[in-house]
Amino acid sequence: MKTIKGPGIFLAQFLGDTAPFNSLDSICKWAAESGFKGVQIPTWDPRMIDLQKAAESKTYADEIKGIVNAAGLEITELSTHLQGQLVATHPAYNELFDGFAPADKRGNAAARTEWAVNQLKYAAKASRNLGLNAHATFSGALMWHTVYPWPQRPAGLVETGFKELANRWLPILNEFDANGVDLCYEIHPGEDLHDGASYERFLEATGNHNRACLLYDPSHFVLQCLDYLQYIDIYHEKIKMFHVKDAEFNPTGRSGVYGGYQGWIDRPGRFRSLGDGQVDFKAVFSKLTQYDFTGWAVMEWECCIKHPEDGAREGAPFIKDHIIRVTEKAFDDFAGGGADEELNRKVLGIN
């Protein structure tokens, strides 16, 4: 077994226009002062990283790594959540997701998708240049508008959808494979890959591509009423990244999983700061450790109540206290002895 690395923090939700959240240098110093050991870097904000430059210049990648290391931190992974969303976007969401693309690509779905695909390919090379072995992204969604269909889905729609999704991602997955990096999809409502069943269909459509891996975040499964512990039992071989995020689900006679178009504060399903929700993190960390998860435990903060800086200050020790230092000996070693073939045969009665 391996001891999980951490605590890490995903910087995306903390970026801002004022110090210390407006530059990589200052936000890393803040993260270190808050008790974190690693940072997961969003790649859509040029204040954090120039993704193309990191892909094309090892020197620049080393400079980025140097900034992080100077704060006493490591880079856990890079993230292309926003770019990944644009690899596959149904036209119904064009306006909503246009803001994820550069201004000169907005209003042009084809150009936007081409840009997104190139971004992911840059991410593969940048990850290699930074010495990383896993990367976080979203799958995008061609079929999400049919997730709870009325009228029923036309025959073959799901098969066609996953075939197209795989066609878009296969060149990207191959690029990650060429660079020795696992591409980890965050399984998330709003994405075509939103649970285990949809991930399995995608995996099959890609020919079981060895780089099509998983970012595990139990909060999304609490909100779907999915067994997030059994999920680890089923998919542990594919889980290469871990977001430590809490959530709660308290259905009422008024609304449940779908939330009734209410804001986050009023929905039955809400994201919470670590320790304030319902996720059994002792069991989560135990299972991931049992299955030899070798990555980072990275806090993602999206609480609808608590201030983000308080969530971060509390989150670092929360993760640290849940990381299990693995044992190198069995509890009953004191009662054992060395290997003795003759004794073993006697015990078994096969002399």
Please name the amino acid found at residue 293: F
Q: How far is it, in rounded angstroms, from Cα 282 to Cα 279?
A: 9
* Model confidence pLDDT, tens digit, residues 73-116: 999 999 999 999 999 999 999 999 999 999 999 999 999 999 99
Going by pLDDT thresholds of 50, 70 and 90, the confidence category of residue 18 is very high
Give me Rg for the CA atoms of the chain.
22
Give the per-residue SS3 of the chain.
CCCCEEEEEECHHHCCCCCCCCCHHHHHHHHHHCCCCEEEEECCCCCCCCHHHHHHCHHHHHHHHHHHHHCCCEEEEEEEHHHHHHHCECHHHHHHHHHHCCHHHCCCHHHHHHHHHHHHHHHHHHHHHCCCCEEEECCCECCHHHCCCCCCCCCCHHHHHHHHHHHHHHHHHHHHHHCCCEEEEECCCCCCCCCHHHHHHHHHHCCCCCCEEEEECHHHHHCCCCCHHHHHHHHCCCEEEEEECEEEECCCCCCCCCHHHCCHHHCCEEEECCCCCCCCHHHHHHHHHHCCCCCEEEECCCCCCCCHHHHHHHHHHHHHHHCCCCCCCCCCHHHCCCCCHHHHHHHHCCC
Is the separation of the CB atoms in 26 and 61 below 8 Å?
A: no
pLDDT of residue 251 exceeding 70? yes
Cis peptide bond prior to 149, omega within 30° of 0: no
Quick: pLDDT tens for 267-315. Answer: 999 999 999 999 999 999 999 999 999 999 999 999 999 999 999 999 9
pLDDT digits (tens, 9 = 90+) for 180-236: 999 999 999 999 999 999 999 999 999 999 999 999 999 999 999 999 999 999 999
| pLDDT score, position 252 | 97
Separation CA 284–CA 239 (nearest Å): 12
Walk me through the domains of the chain, giving residue ranges and CATH numbers.
Answer: 5-348 (3.20.20.150)
CA distances from 40 to 3, 19, 118, 166 (A): 19, 19, 21, 26
Burial of 36 (0-12, 13-18, 19+ CB in 10 A): buried
pLDDT at 202: 98
Mean pLDDT of 235-260: 98
